[in-house]
Amino acid sequence: MSPVVRVLGAFGAEVAGAPADLGGPRQRSVLARLVAARGRMVPADRLVEDLWAAAPPPRAAAGLQSFVSHLRRALEPDRPPRTPARILTTEPPGYALRLPDGAVDAWRFDALIDASAALLDTDPAEARRSAEAALAEWRGPAYAEFAGLPWAAAEAARLEERRRIAVERRAEAALRLGAAAEAVPDLEAHAAADPLRAVP
């Protein structure tokens, strides 16, 4: 069973339904940074820069390896010693997080928004359901725990924009279904939160 990782709201992970001990702030940041990469390899040098900004300590690479080792134990507690990790993998020159889309709330969120876009012209009811499901994933600001880190701020801004798109898509689907009265409160709240944004 894959761990479940959450970044939309309070950051955390569960393994077999129980909270995983993700360690201290820098160790947690490693996992969050790998989530933001969405399965792509992040070079170790980049992770060191992201963790320590302009002032990495002399043994930063060893510190990163230690964080990765601890996260591997947290995410795969039943993995036998000296067997390759399946989830937080080493992929020279760095690391990658190998989880199915459904195991990470932000990845599910993105997939549901994409599904909503694909369905809008052919099946507005299903497009609306997909947009609603995407918005249900949102439990608070994305990557809030890491807000001071440039990589997190960029990813949080991207996800916030996607959230706005999901609200707009849900409203557009409601309009196409002839449910304008249901779209109005959504659009009013949306316009109040971002008055300079054009809405459908």
Provide mean pLDDT across the span 52-59: 87
Query: What residue ranges do the domains of the chain occupy?
Result: 4-97, 105-193
pTM of the model: 0.92
| DSSP-based three-state secondary structure for 125 | helix
Phi and psi of 56, rounded to 5°? -70, 140
**Tokens found for residue 134:** 């995407």
Multiple choice CATH, 4-97, 2.60.40.640, 3.40.50.740, 1.10.10.10, 3.30.365.10: 1.10.10.10
Instruction: Name the region of 5 (left: φ>0; alpha: ψ -120 to 50; beta: rest).
Output: beta
For the chain, the average pLDDT equals: 94
Is the C-alpha dihedral spanning 170, 12, 62, 94 positive or negative? Answer: negative
Give dist(CA 31, CA 111) in Å, integer.
Answer: 20
Residue 98 pLDDT exceeds 90:
yes
Among 139, 135, 128, smallest CA distance to 182 is for 128
Nearest CA among 3, 94, 90 for reference residue 42: 94
Which residues, in sequence order, are bridge partners of residue 91? 94
d(CA 86, CA 83): 9
When pLDDT is cut at 50, 70 and 90, the band that residue 200 belongs to is low
Q: How far apart are CA 110 and CA 39, in angstroms?
A: 14
